[in-house]
Amino acid sequence: MSTTPRRPLRSVLLALLSLLAAALVAAPGASARTQAVPTAALTEITGFGTNPSNLQMYLYVPDNVTAHPAVVVAVHYCTGSGPAMYNGTEWARLADTYGFVVIYPSVTRSSKCFDVSSPQALKRGGGSDPVGIKSMIDWTVNTYSADTARIYATGISSGAMMTNVLLGDYPDVFAAGAAFAGVPFGCFATTDGSEWNSACSGGTITHTPQQWGDLVRAAYPGYNGTRPRMQLWHGTEDDVLRYPNFGEEIKQWTNVLGVSQTPAATDTPQSGWTRTRYGATGDRAPVEAVSLQGVGHNLYAGGMAARALTFFGLDSSGPAPQPQPGACKVTATTNAWSTGLTASVTLTNTGTTAINGWQLAFTLPTGQTITNGWGATYSPASGAVTATNATYNGTIAPNASVSIGYQANHSGNSAAPGSFSLNGTACTAS
């Protein structure tokens, strides 16, 4: 039989095989795209991996998500939820500015508190909430090719306690954490199934730095790698997780990170705050602790997430430190009438390098509330305020200035703010 008729058939088969191969090559890319969530919206992710305590996972991906983005895990307080953390903090807005991804874990148990007390939670891979959160991170890393060197945890109250636990259980996963009103790793430990530890919450559990450090090291025996840095926040009048826990956290994390308990630097970034840094003096010290005089348990306020972001190092494109004290100058004046005022603020870069992206923090005098502003976005409207650059004035060259301002109501005190900090560092006020 002649072979001539078979040649066209062989050509057709080869063509079909080529098309099939091309389709198979394209399939993984298409699959990866179907896994990605809508941008600029909080989205629940299901089936994200091992999840022994039935947590929910919510994810926020900004429109301008970067290639290989950083990941921030933002952990809610008792009675809270992932959506509540999304709505009540600035992490999504900061993600819009800097292009990172935010994971919001959400508890489904009745207390809506995270498990920071069971033996399973206090051991790497032991089970319970930390394992579920680790699965959320893995899903996000795989889906978005996230930068595994830039994964961070932060939380408020129960979420702050979980931040301590996550950094202890998974020191190889996290680069840093920021805990707002928490307790040391292991302080809440119980063996009777209880979620609450009254001795710890009351601030009566004390250990030596070595003992606290040993609790962290026991969560991942044999680990000798780099440990994540820690930023700690606490109010002196906290009546839920008493203030002594703040000192115990400092003892623990300075020991874990192998730095002196004597501060390398102490300053007052704004009125009533005392900030101590251990092991270094810059914005990315191994341990940073902020004590808020006269403040209770509900200490979290607008602008604090931006300070945590500076500590993480996510508000700049490289490893260079933020401007140091004396590298900025602020002049502020007000023009007042019976119940209102306008304020004019001039920010000058007195350093030798350009500032790319800025946040100017200050505290409004009591009774003042911002009603509108220009040259920046202002959040919140009263108390400790952070002004974030507009798109057109985010870069300030050496010796250059930007002018911003706002209009505010007042109840008698029409003075301008007395102190300012730029990207977490104090400015000279004039």
Q: Residue 426 is encoded by which pair of tokens?
A: 């104090």
Q: Alpha-carbon torsion 145, 131, 184, 234, what sign?
A: positive
CA 146 to mean position of chain CA atoms: 16
26-55 burial by CB neighbour count: b if 16+ within 10 A, else e? eeeeeeeeeeebeeeebeebeebeebebeb
> Strand order in 273-278's β-sheet?
42-45, 56-60, 101-106, 71-75, 151-156, 176-180, 229-235, 287-292, 273-278, 265-267
Q: Distance (Å, rounded) from C-alpha 312 to C-alpha 307?
A: 9
Q: Is 198 a catalytic residue?
A: no
Q: Distance (Å, rounded) from C-alpha 97 to C-alpha 88?
A: 17
Half-sphere exposure of 291 (CA within 13 A, CB side): 17
Q: Residue 420 is encoded by which pair of tokens?
A: 């300012």
Within 10 angstroms of residue 130's Cβ, the number of other Cβ atoms is 29
Catalytic residue, candidates 157, 291, 414, 421: 157
Residues that are catalytic: 157
